[in-house]
Structure 1
Amino acid sequence: MSHKQAPKHRNPLDLADIDDALSSEEKAIRSSVRSLLADQVDPYIGEWFEKGELPNVRELARSFGEMGLLGMHLEGYGCAGMSAVDYGLACLELEASDSGIRSLVSVQGSLAMFGIWRWGSEEHKQQWLPAMAAGEAIGCFGLTEPDHGSDPGNMRTFAKKDGTDWVLNGRKMWITNSPIADVAVVWAQTEEGAESGSNGIRGFCVPTDTPGFSAPEIHHKGSLRASITGEIVLDDVRLPADAAFPEVRGLKGPLSCLNEARYGILWGSMGAARTAYSTALDYAGQREQFGRPISGFQLTQAKLANMVVEISLGTLLALHLGRRKDAVGLRPEQVSIGKLNNVTKAIEICRSARTILGGNGISYEFPIMRHMTNLESVLTYEGTPEMHTLMIGQAVTGQAAFR
């Protein structure tokens, strides 16, 4: 039986010493990402959010590309080829700054780039991935439609053969990066499904300068304001035959991309939670009421203790799933466990942290309200909590309850 004395050093942001489970290389990657964000994002993100803009986005993308953050977990074609844990730690730091910044990186790398890397032709990969990895080209991912969010199998966007060409018509909604994108990965129904009675969804690599393609920006958002969001409108967009992804059919293609993005979210949400918790912890130590700091009162300590417990549990879950993804891969329900738990807990942490700041908690002088409103979007994109609950329920019971 071991009777070793635990080290006396304690870090209130990592009370469980989860850092001890990380390698020196993983810590170095995390530190590099944090330094970049501290220099290029953190001093400005509050103003960007309040104004509802993300200026110099291409300059920021190039900086991320130089660090290897774009498609960092992919191999070849100029991608960094780092581990799933490396990518997860980067997402945590990105979202500790802002969910919109993490969305820029994860839509680029886990949706658009992964879609091309996993399902595109060799020509698609050679044409787009090196430029996207460098941040010289921006991608977006067109799946969600105005009337079909959680039910993508019934999408109305349609790709019809005309000779050897494809002609696409339809509309996608809530598409991160679409107004500034150079290439869009678009999923559409085809005649293959209509003829066979099966799901004939196919993916297409669509240069955004193709005639008939437009991407009007969505304004008046109350969340993810430091993120560029738009529609995709396809009006007789004519593409050559080789624009279609050659092999994948049905929902397997887009859902595989969504699982990549969801993995980044389950890490990233813990970054937003950490920022809210650390802000509340600092504030509680400085704010005095009844003659002493409010951190000395039991109810405040209970809130802070609950926050650090949930952050510890959520980060451990993310690390476990990351190690498993690197070793053997993840099943969809395992990603759902992480996304459902970590995002809902992060929102609870932000709300509790806000109460410690009282009225100051709603001020944009502090980051908590910004993170709280951002997480309301993160909660429902890449799968609503209801859908993730049902995915877990199906895995547990063997019964599908989606319809």
Structure 2
Amino acid sequence: MSLQPTPHPEAKKLTDADYPDFLLLDADLPADVIELRDRIRAFGRDVVFDVINEYWERAEFPPEVIKGLAELGIAGGQISGYGCPGLSELAMGIVARELAMIDGSVNTFFGVHSGLGMGAIHTLGDEEQRERWLPAMARFEKTGAFGLTEPYHGSDAVSLETSARREGDEWVLNGHKRWIGNGHQGDVIVIFARDEADGQVKAFVVEKREDGSYPEGYRPTAIEGKFGKRAIQQADIEIEDLRIAETERLQNCNSFKDVNKVLGATRGGVAWEAAGHGVAAFAVARQYALDRTQFGAPIAGYQLVQEKLATMLAGVTQNELLCRRMIELIDRGEFTHAMASMMKMQTVRNSLEVCRIGRDMMGGNGVLLENRVARHLSDMEVVATYEGTDSMQALILGREITGVSAFTNVKR
């Protein structure tokens, strides 16, 4: 007797009806956002699902996915002009949710390229620089990256140590970056460094040469050995006497406050991503419970399994409610950093639980890539780390609640 469940006709290519919308929230989406949602789901079914497990296991990014993303026409998100679609906050949230439902590595690749790379150039560059880089990036003819994090400065990125020294019409950069998504093969990479003259953070664009090489002094290496988001690689980048022309310095970045403008614009996307991973895990686990037979009956008919499914559904629905409220507050101009921390903290906690319950419910089959839940679970562990760990979000929220900062030790 096979230990595998009887294959469901859409086991690897879930239909729209398989995804939960228990409180009918998607029913209220504008028609254009529903059309966008459905196009992304078709992209997942037709382009990604058949190849992603193989590439995920090999720790490589599937090139056909880039072509598919280009055809979706969503690069640049909310940016208007320069070949970008000018999407609404809600539409961008749905994009993040839907891409995460497909695969976390694909969502991260898109977020790094569109939200951080293109977002930095649009927010921090001048008009000539926007015209120079954004149209090609919108078409995915060039891919982007965002070089902020350093080996010793993750949560305290404001303390970055990479330096920039001006020499005439050039800048000389020295330092070390780490965990830079697509930083080892992107075409347009935004690097942040501290100006030795005034101590302020500036932004510089490193562009790949026509022969595919990087300028001398930019030495990226792909980080190996990850157990999550394996299909999108991050780079460890050594920067030594890297010369950047003044024309490649983003002209509107003059302090870390300017960097925060980019980070603030992407923060909500992490909550939407967490929501997407949870939805996917629930949908797969639900179908598995209906297909899997034990002791002469589908496991969906057992009380413990139904309790697990009910808990999972409650978690994904709470995430959706949080994300929809977040959009309302952003549109009203009332969304705060502390609110963002709560959104990230709670949606991640919910989706981690949902993915863990789903993997447990599927037994040994839950660890197989072909059943998807293990991939979403390991990717969620990564989501729990970037854009601020659970502990960091809790400290931000705790400071908001009490008015007392607990980020540093207090001498008593």
Q: Is the 8 A contact 1:72 1:79 kept in 2?
A: yes
Distance 1:60 1:12 in 2: 22
Gaps of 5+ in 1: 1-9, 195-199
In the other structure, the counterpart of 1:206 is 206
Q: CA deviation at 1:210?
A: 2.6
- State the TM-score, normalizing by the size of structure 1: 0.91
- Match status 1:149 vs 2:154: yes
Q: Is the 8 A contact 1:115 1:253 kept in 2?
A: no
**Equivalent in 43, 46, 54 of residue 50 of structure 2:** 43
Secondary structure (helix, strand or coil) at the match of 2:50 reads coil
Q: CA deviation at 1:63?
A: 2.8
- State the TM-score, normalizing by the size of structure 2: 0.90
Distance 1:106 1:281 in 2: 29
In the other structure, the counterpart of 1:158 is 163
- Match status 1:271 vs 2:276: yes
In the other structure, the counterpart of 1:344 is 349
Over 3 Å counting, the alpha-carbon distance change for 1:232 and 1:65 in structure 2 is same
Secondary structure (helix, strand or coil) at the match of 1:178 reads coil
Secondary structure (helix, strand or coil) at the match of 1:239 reads strand
Q: CA deviation at 1:101?
A: 0.3
Q: Is the 8 A contact 1:49 1:224 kept in 2?
A: yes
Counterpart of 2:149 in structure 1: which amino acid?
T
Distance 2:67 2:217 in 1: 28
Aligned counterparts, 1:294-305, within 5 A: 294-305=299-310
Secondary structure (helix, strand or coil) at the match of 1:214 reads strand
Distance 1:173 1:341 in 2: 27
In the other structure, the counterpart of 2:110 is 105
Aligned counterparts, 1:52-131, within 5 A: 52-56=59-63, 59-131=64-136
**Equivalent in 171, 179, 204 of residue 176 of structure 2:** 171
State how many pairs are aligned.
387
Distance 2:58 2:32 in 1: 37
Percent identity, please: 34
Q: CA deviation at 1:11?
A: 7.4
Distance 2:280 2:251 in 1: 43
**Equivalent in 2, 18, 22 of residue 25 of structure 2:** 18
Distance 1:37 1:339 in 2: 25
Q: CA deviation at 1:134?
A: 0.8
Counterpart of 2:201 in structure 1: which amino acid?
I
Counterpart of 2:176 in structure 1: which amino acid?
R
**Equivalent in 34, 37, 43 of residue 27 of structure 1:** 34
Q: CA deviation at 1:318?
A: 0.9
Q: Is the 8 A contact 1:169 1:234 kept in 2?
A: yes
Counterpart of 2:336 in structure 1: which amino acid?
R
**Equivalent in 222, 233, 254 of residue 217 of structure 1:** 222
Q: Is the 8 A contact 2:77 2:115 kept in 1?
A: no
Q: CA deviation at 1:193?
A: 3.9
In the other structure, the counterpart of 2:8 is none
Q: Is the 8 A contact 1:45 1:97 kept in 2?
A: no
Secondary structure (helix, strand or coil) at the match of 2:387 reads coil
Q: Deviations over 1:40-63 (max 9, x none)?
A: 11111111111211131xx53243
Counterpart of 2:207 in structure 1: which amino acid?
P
Q: Is the 8 A contact 1:78 1:129 kept in 2?
A: yes
Aligned counterparts, 1:312-323, within 5 A: 312-323=317-328
Counterpart of 1:155 in structure 2: which amino acid?
L
Secondary structure (helix, strand or coil) at the match of 1:365 reads helix
Counterpart of 1:203 in structure 2: which amino acid?
A
Q: CA deviation at 1:211?
A: 2.4
In the other structure, the counterpart of 1:394 is 399
Distance 2:139 2:271 in 1: 25
Counterpart of 2:313 in structure 1: which amino acid?
V
Q: CA deviation at 1:253?
A: 2.6
Distance 1:189 1:12 in 2: 46
**Equivalent in 249, 261, 269 of residue 254 of structure 2:** 249
Over 3 Å counting, the alpha-carbon distance change for 1:66 and 1:363 in structure 2 is closer
Over 3 Å counting, the alpha-carbon distance change for 1:363 and 1:343 in structure 2 is same
Farther off after superposition, 31-40 or 250-259: 250-259
Q: Deviations over 1:59-116 (max 9, x none)?
A: 5324312322211221221110010111111111111111110001111111111111
Q: CA deviation at 1:242?
A: 2.9
Over 3 Å counting, the alpha-carbon distance change for 1:155 and 1:12 in structure 2 is closer
Q: Deviations over 1:177-224 (max 9, x none)?
A: 112111111111112444xxxxx1111222243322122111221111
Distance 1:192 1:331 in 2: 33
Q: Is the 8 A contact 1:161 1:167 kept in 2?
A: yes
Q: CA deviation at 1:131?
A: 0.7
Q: Is the 8 A contact 2:165 2:197 kept in 1?
A: no
Q: Is the 8 A contact 2:19 2:279 kept in 1?
A: no
Q: Deviations over 1:326-383 (max 9, x none)?
A: 3436322222222111112111101000111011111122101111111111110111
In the other structure, the counterpart of 1:288 is 293
**Equivalent in 298, 303, 324 of residue 329 of structure 2:** 324
In the other structure, the counterpart of 2:5 is none
Over 3 Å counting, the alpha-carbon distance change for 1:363 and 1:382 in structure 2 is same
Counterpart of 1:119 in structure 2: which amino acid?
L
Distance 2:275 2:132 in 1: 35
